[in-house]
Amino acid sequence: MLKVLLVRHAQCEMNLHITERIGGRTNHSPLTELGEQQARAVASHLRTTFHHDAKPAKDVRFFSSTAVRAVETAKAVMAALEVEDGLVQSEQLLELEQGEFEGAVRRECFPPELIASFAADPWGVAYNFAPPRGESQRQVEVRMLAFLQQQVLPQLLPHQQAVVVGHGMAFKCLLRGLLGSVPTMTRNIALGNTSVTEIGFVPGKGSNASSGEWHILRVNDRSHLPDDLRS
């Protein structure tokens, strides 16, 4: 089984201001002081995990979105493993694009009648809904899965693992797709800052690796964070 660790970025400045507003990508947002501590905590956790599994740093592949908060988190992990380079950054791993909704008041963009339409027709509305100049859950799911199949899996040998640092909603769309659940389920998946979600892939027989099966091994593991570092 090929294993991929999905690590949500540590707390960033944007996270402090999105209670009522839609954050979206905000790719320039750096880690907060708390976020830097969270990044070091998850880095220490992964270092212990890999050492326990007797996996040297050369057997770990690193990927992240191009957002500052994801890159900073990924580099903290790599530093803990004494890996100086090899980070693959990709826009395919960016957060869901909120378009004209980014920075807007959430309740104004998603009024009760729109939320009700999601519940009434999840596959017709929720799955395909996209903000103006934004993207839908379906589009995010497609690009995330394509990245894993085309960029991550081909680089892994059976004894290797991948660490993919990215974003909450993008990971939720990916998990929804792997589970085959209704689109509204993304609201019920919790993924906190620096949470570790582990998925495994069993390749199919023959040359077509994408014909294999994905397995969800753990979700939203934040056991590495003491209470004072949880945001």
pLDDT digits (tens, 9 = 90+) for 146-187: 999 999 999 888 778 999 999 999 999 999 999 999 999 998
- Which of 9, 45, 167, 224 is an active site residue? 9
**C-alpha span between 8 and 17 (Å, rounded):** 18
**C-alpha span between 182 and 128 (Å, rounded):** 12
Domain assignments of the chain as residue spans, ordered by start: 2-229
Is 69 labelled a binding residue? yes
- Which of 72, 95, 102, 141 is an active site residue? 95
Is 13 labelled a binding residue? yes
Specify the 3-state DSSP secondary structure of 192: coil
The pLDDT, as a whole number, for residue 206 is 64
The pLDDT, as a whole number, for residue 92 is 97
95 is catalytic: yes
Is 12 labelled a binding residue? yes
Is 109 labelled a binding residue? no
Is 9 labelled a binding residue? yes
Is 28 labelled a binding residue? no
pLDDT tens sequence across 2-42: 999 999 999 999 888 777 888 888 899 999 999 999 999 99
91 is catalytic: no
The rounded percent of the chain whose pLDDT value lies above 70 is: 95
Look at residue 53 and tell me whether its pLDDT is greater than 90.
Answer: no
Binned at pLDDT 50, 70 and 90, residue 55 comes out as low
**C-alpha span between 119 and 5 (Å, rounded):** 31
The pLDDT, as a whole number, for residue 209 is 53
90 Cβ neighbours under 8 A, 6+ residues apart: 63, 64, 65, 66, 147, 151
Assessment of whether the complete model's pTM goes beyond 0.75: yes
Domain 2-229 has CATH 2.30.30.100: no
Note the Cα 6 to chain centre separation in Å.
5
Helix, strand, coil shares, percent, the chain, to 5: 45, 20, 35
Is 14 labelled a binding residue? yes
The pLDDT, as a whole number, for residue 182 is 93
pLDDT tens sequence across 180-225: 999 999 989 999 999 999 999 998 776 555 678 999 999 999 999 9
Q: What is the DSSP string of 83-102?
A: --S-EEEEGGGSPP--GGGT
